[in-house]
Amino acid sequence: MNVDIGNALASVSAPGVSRGSLEALDEQVAAAHERIETGRANREHGYEALNLPDRTDPETIRSAVEPIADADAIITVGIGGSALGAATITDALAGESETEAIYLDNVDPEWVSSRLERLPLERTAINVVSRSGTTAETLANFLVVRDAFESAGVDWTDRTIVTTGDSGPLRDLSDRHDLPSLKVPDGVPGRFSALSSVGLVAPAVCGHDLEALLEGAAAEADSLSGSLFECPAYAYGATTYALDARGAGINAMVPYSESLETSAEWFAQLWAESLGKDDLGQTPVRALGVTDQHSQLQLYRAGPRDKFVTFVTTRQRRDRSIPETDVEDLAYLGDATLGELLEAEFEATEASLAAAGRPNVRIELESVDEYELGGFLYGMEAACVLAGELYGVNTFEQPAVEWAKKATRGLLGGGAFEEAEAVAEKTELR
Ligand code: PA5
């Protein structure tokens, strides 16, 4: 992963972050790096996620998925950090696999039903993932999926793998039915678990190269250093922090590859849930190049100066030439390929934002493959941990998310939670 912050730097004509202020920030980066390395060495909660490239054993994951490895489709039942890492990988590499990877996170009944109805259940594997083992959406969807399998006369116990903690309702259920299971590693919060069993079961069933994913991540881990000028991940974390400090707190991630669209969703969760605390944080926005050039770009180039753009690009892609036509005005297209058109659109957009004095950062992946994806996932996680240190927030907790989870359970009669009482009181006031 390469990170280019050139268009985030201030120049005579463009606002942004000055080189001098980044140099001053580098002292804080050095201190934050030291804190991160201590956390990693002591395997502290959260920091342990940055050790995953060394701790995750691909062989254990592959053996666990053995009974379902011949599936035509794998349906992952999980939400947030228990689904988005896997979805980023399998969506990015969908063209390389004959196994379809589907995700059930939302509990919209219409959507869940239509997904289940179109699947060949006797050829589908179920991958249930919940760190806590108590998340209402995941457990409810799993019960619905189980029921659909039973109604179709398919033994779901033959086709299910569970990834969860040491205890909890999902662990109990898994033990009761003697299901193959994996453990969520200790010290790794959901949104930082893409490179563990949480994120790698679906890619394993799809036949993706787990070793290469972890090698790419390990290379990024090796590049962590005490200076943002020497470390791509920290360059990203520190620059976005500095942009926010200057009033550009909206971070629009725009991948220029359809296959990377889900990566922006994963990134948005990582950034929002980790940094959005104590009235601080950046607001991540998801967009897609070139599609959103025809919608959101207007705002990014000419709207309030409260935002910056993170481009994610890849140079190598399967290409397709644009057929020639005898319509004179379209002749220029016949000399090009779709890849060249996409590239030109990206270059034009990046340059047009820079020309308008709108800061942007470019993250470059050599290609969309396991190695580069592993590096991207790890690099963004390290960037996020660094930004958390700079903001001085607890990156690894998510009290607002937990609040809503408890309120939901309480409202459904799943326990006495004061959060549910607060919701009930508010509803009565209406
Ligand atoms: O990052 C997080 O902590 C959350 O997004 C969780 O991953 C999400 O809420 C799902 O939780 P669980 O894995 O306990 O079902």
If we measure between CA atoms, which residue out of 32, 47, 56, 394 comes closest to residue 238? Answer: 32
**Which pair of structure tokens corresponds to residue 128?**
């249930």
Higher pLDDT, 423 or 240: 240
Asked about 405 being catalytic, the answer comes back as: yes
- Report if pTM > 0.90: yes
Distance between CA 32 and CA 276 in Å, rounded? 18
Distance between CA 26 and CA 413 in Å, rounded? 51
If we measure between CA atoms, which residue out of 175, 150, 149, 154 comes closest to residue 164? Answer: 175
pLDDT of residue 16 exceeding 90? no
Collapse the DSSP code of 167 into the 3-class scheme (helix H, G, I; strand E, B; otherwise coil) and give the result.
Answer: coil
pLDDT at 421: 80
pLDDT at 177: 96
List the end-to-end C-alpha distance of the chain, in Å, as a whole number: 51
Catalytic residue among 273, 370, 372, 389: 273
Can you tell me the mean pLDDT for 295-302?
94
Can you tell me the mean pLDDT for 140-163?
97
Show the ligand 1 pocket: residues with CB < 6 angstroms: 79-82, 130-132, 135, 138, 189-191, 273, 398, 401
pLDDT of residue 334 exceeding 90? no
Asked about 27 being catalytic, the answer comes back as: no
Q: Are 126 and 181 in contact (CB under 8 A)?
A: no
pLDDT of residue 42 exceeding 70? yes
**ipTM score for this prediction:** 0.98
Residue 191's Cβ-side half-sphere holds a number of Cα atoms within 13 Å equal to 23
pLDDT of residue 13 exceeding 70? no
Kindly report, residue by residue over 398-416, the tens digit of the pLDDT: 888 888 888 888 888 888 8
**Taking the CA atoms of the chain, what radius of gyration do you get in angstroms?**
23
Please choose from 135, 182, 408 the residue to mutate so as to test ligand 1's pocket, defined by most ligand atoms within 8 A of CB: 135
Please choose from 76, 79, 128, 267 the residue to mutate so as to test ligand 1's pocket, defined by most ligand atoms within 8 A of CB: 79
pLDDT at 307: 95
Residue 81 C-alpha to ligand 1 middle, in angstroms? 5
Q: Are 140 and 105 in contact (CB under 8 A)?
A: no
Can you tell me the mean pLDDT for 274-290?
97
- CB crowding 26-56: b at 16 or more within 10 Å, else e: beebeebbeebeebbeeeeebbbbbbbbebb
pLDDT band of residue 379 (cuts 50, 70, 90) is: very high
Q: Are 409 and 403 in contact (CB under 8 A)?
A: no
Kindly report, residue by residue over 86-98, the tens digit of the pLDDT: 999 999 999 999 9
pLDDT of residue 275 exceeding 90? yes
Can you tell me the mean pLDDT for 348-365?
95
Residue 229 C-alpha to ligand 1 middle, in angstroms? 33
Asked about 294 being catalytic, the answer comes back as: yes
Residue 106 C-alpha to ligand 1 middle, in angstroms? 13
Q: Cβ atoms within 10 A of the Cβ of 20, count?
A: 9
If we measure between CA atoms, which residue out of 208, 129, 114, 200 comes closest to residue 163? Answer: 129
pLDDT band of residue 429 (cuts 50, 70, 90) is: low
Residue 275's Cβ-side half-sphere holds a number of Cα atoms within 13 Å equal to 30
> What pairs with residue 74 in β-bridges?
101, 125
Nearest CA to ligand 1 atom 2: 190
Percent of the chain with pLDDT over 70: 99
User: Which residues lie below 8 Å from residue 189, measured CB to CB, with a gap of 6+?
Assistant: 45, 46, 49, 81, 131, 396, 397, 398
